């Protein structure tokens, strides 16, 4: 069983659309994250979410919003997509926040905005 899964794997959409990427973890972890891999291949933290507490990277536009229906899921909603949003988005989870726990990553979702 995949520990951290994301759907879809690929997403191609038009500028201005609203889209969502889903993430699920079956590890029983308390904390989940979203990362964006930018054009220079950096993995940059977008959000971390723990027990209904959301910590946002202040550089993330408010068109991006994470939504967590339960502890095992953290979905990423993106409104009014822009060309610059094209990237690979990775979800991750860890047992808790604040320790040195390993983060387990999903396989990534490649978003292409046309």
Partner 1 sequence: ILNVEQSPQSLHVQEGDSTNFTCSFPSSNFYALHWYRWETAKSPEALFVMTLNGDEKKKGRISATLNTKEGYSYLYIKGSQPEDSATYLCASQTGANNLFFGTGTRLTVIP
Applying CB under 8 A, the residues found at the interface with partner 1 are: 4, 31, 40-45, 48, 55, 59, 90, 94, 96-108
Min dist CB 81 to partner 1, Å, is: 24
Nearer to partner 1 among residue 49 and residue 78 (C-beta)? 49
Min dist CB 34 to partner 1, Å, is: 12
- Closest to 93 measured CA to CA, from 64, 61, 70: 70
Min dist CB 61 to partner 1, Å, is: 16
Burial class (CB in 10 A: 0-12, 13-18, 19+), 31: buried
Nearer to partner 1 among residue 58 and residue 70 (C-beta)? 58
**Three-state secondary structure string covering 4-34:** EEEECCEEEECCCCCEEEEEEECCCCCEEEE
């Amino acid at each position: 069983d995949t520990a951290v899964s994301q759907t879809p794997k690929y997403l191609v959409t038009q500028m201005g659309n609203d889209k969502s990427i889903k993430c699920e973890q079956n590890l029983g972890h308390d904390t989940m994250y979203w990362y964006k891999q930018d054009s220079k291949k950096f993995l940059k933290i977008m959000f971390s979410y723990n027990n209904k507490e959301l910590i946002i990277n202040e550089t993330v536009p408010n068109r991006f919003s994470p939504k967590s229906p339960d502890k095992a899921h953290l979905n990423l909603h993106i409104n009014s997509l822009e060309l610059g949003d094209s990237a690979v988005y990775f979800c991750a989870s860890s047992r808790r926040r604040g320790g040195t726990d390993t983060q387990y990553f999903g396989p990534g979702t490649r978003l292409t905005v046309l």
